[in-house]
DNA sequence: GTCTATACGAAGATAGAC
DNA sequence: GTCTATCTTCGTATAGAC
């Protein structure tokens, strides 16, 4: 097993950072946390990330955004936006249960801690926009007028992300289950 | 002007903390930041908050939650939930514009940084639940079945809070405007 | 590419005078 | 109730050897 078959230290650090940001936010996560979690050697931090924590935060946010986007693309492959939205909310419900409400969305963390890590905030904005584009396009393809498709896509992403925040705070899946039901009802009626 | 007519150092610190948490999150805000912003003397931190930063974070989150709840109650006084929801989203739109997208909701910050400040996270959950209760009750009073009222209330709060996060990341009011339009359309049709 | 050691600053928290 | 000073810990970042 060598560098070609196993993720190298750099990738492992990015993945670990994304996981930890989900739980503790960016400010709440130290390099030591990332090293412990990834098993990467301390000496390689500034070798791989000369831009320091800001660079790591930005790359981890971009990685997470791409990861979710890939999931959305796969979910939309079936063609029916309703199904994709169900898969999207189910994905997050599953994550919340697995983590016992101790983890949310790392992209949200980057957005909320905003101006202290500008690169991460920009990456978060780009991720949200990408997801929005994917959903809006799918809704439009299904026959919705372009502007309505865009606003329903906004509602879907905002409501899901917001519900994850509520669910974490209340340690209950109810907000997200409510949102999933309302979104399903709405989109099915279009 | 004395202690009875002017907010004392303790209150000023709580208010300042809430403002700063909106912008930088809890971890991103130091005691020095709070002292600078509030003008409170350094020597009184542990006099007023023997529990340190955890206590300040918890009280600031509770204060912010109560503040928003009071706004919701006032908005619901007109009777029509649609109007109250419009006022709710408009309030946040205004805040985002004023702050040039550099500030969000402090309760969300407490929820996302969660387990590093457990007291604040619990206070965030209580705040969300209170808002939810207010909205759900108003919707039920307007004739909606109880369970539907609850899920529409969840959607409203989750979508609004989520849209604030998206808007900050993208530095655009569009997500929140989209959500406001969709919520208005939905609630008006009930 | 990874190691150890360390500089440097910031932040939370405490002590004791006033 | 507030002041100054300080302790301690921790986190980012750097230096230089291997």
- Kindly report, residue by residue over B32-43, the tens digit of the pLDDT: 999 999 999 888
Name all contacts of A32-38 with Cβ < 8 Å and 24+ positions apart.
A38/A9, A38/A12, A38/A13
3-state helix, strand, coil in chain B (%, to 5): 80, 0, 20
User: pLDDT per residue over B36-80, tens digit each?
Assistant: 999 998 888 999 999 999 999 999 999 999 999 999 999 999 779
> Closest to B27 (Cβ–Cβ): which among A27, A110, A175?
A27
Contact by Cβ (8 Å): A168, A112: no
pTM: predicted TM-score of the whole model, two decimal places: 0.95
Cβ-Cβ contacts under 8 Å between A and B: the total is 178
Closest CA to B107 of B142, B178, B57: B57
With H, G, I as helix, E, B as strand and everything else as coil, classify residue A92: helix
Neighbours of A25 (CB within 10 A): 25
Place of tokens 């996060």: B165
Q: Which residues from B are below 8 Å from A162, CB to CB?
A: 157-163, 165
Contact B111 A169 (CB under 8 A): yes
Contact yes or no for A17/A29 (Cβ under 8 A): yes
Give residue A3's pLDDT. Answer: 40
The rounded mean pLDDT for chain A is 94
User: Is strand D less than 7 A from the beta carbon of B139?
Assistant: no
Sign of CA dihedral B109, B111, B113, B116: positive
C-alpha–C-alpha distance, residues A42 and A35, integer Å = 7
Query: In the predicted model, what is the mean pLDDT of residues B95-106?
Result: 97
* pLDDT at B7 (0 to 100): 66
Give me the helix-helix angle, B174-188 and A146-170, nearest 10°: 90
- % chain B with pLDDT above 70: 96
Whether residue B154 and residue A178 make contact (CB cut-off 8 A), yes or no, is yes
Strand D: which positions are within 7 A of a protein CB? 1-5, 10-17
The per-residue pLDDT for range A105-151, each reduced to its tens digit, is 999 999 999 678 899 999 999 999 999 999 999 999 999 999 999 99
Q: What confidence tens digit (pLDDT) does each residue in A19-76 have?
A: 999 999 999 999 999 999 999 988 889 999 999 999 999 999 999 999 999 999 999 9
């Amino acid at each position: 097993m060598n560098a070609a078959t196993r993720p190298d230290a750099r990738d492992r650090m990015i993945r670990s950072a994304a996981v930890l940001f989900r739980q503790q936010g960016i400010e709440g996560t130290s390099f030591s946390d990332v090293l412990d979690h990834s098993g990467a050697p301390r000496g390689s931090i500034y070798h791989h990330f000369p831009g320091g924590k800001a660079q790591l935060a930005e790359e981890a946010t971009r990685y997470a955004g791409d990861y979710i986007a890939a999931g959305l693309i796969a979910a939309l492959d079936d063609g029916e936006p309703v199904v994709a939205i169900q898969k999207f909310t189910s994905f997050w419900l599953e994550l919340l249960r697995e983590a016992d409400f101790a983890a949310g969305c790392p992209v949200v963390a980057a957005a909320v801690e905003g101006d202290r890590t500008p690169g991460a905030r920009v990456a978060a904005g780009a991720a949200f926009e990408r997801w929005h584009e994917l959903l809006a396009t799918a809704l439009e393809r299904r026959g919705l007028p372009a502007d309505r498709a865009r606003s329903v896509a906004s509602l879907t992403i905002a409501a899901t992300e917001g519900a994850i925040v509520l669910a974490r705070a209340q340690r209950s899946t109810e907000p997200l289950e409510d949102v999933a039901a309302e979104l399903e009802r709405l989109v099915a009626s279009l």
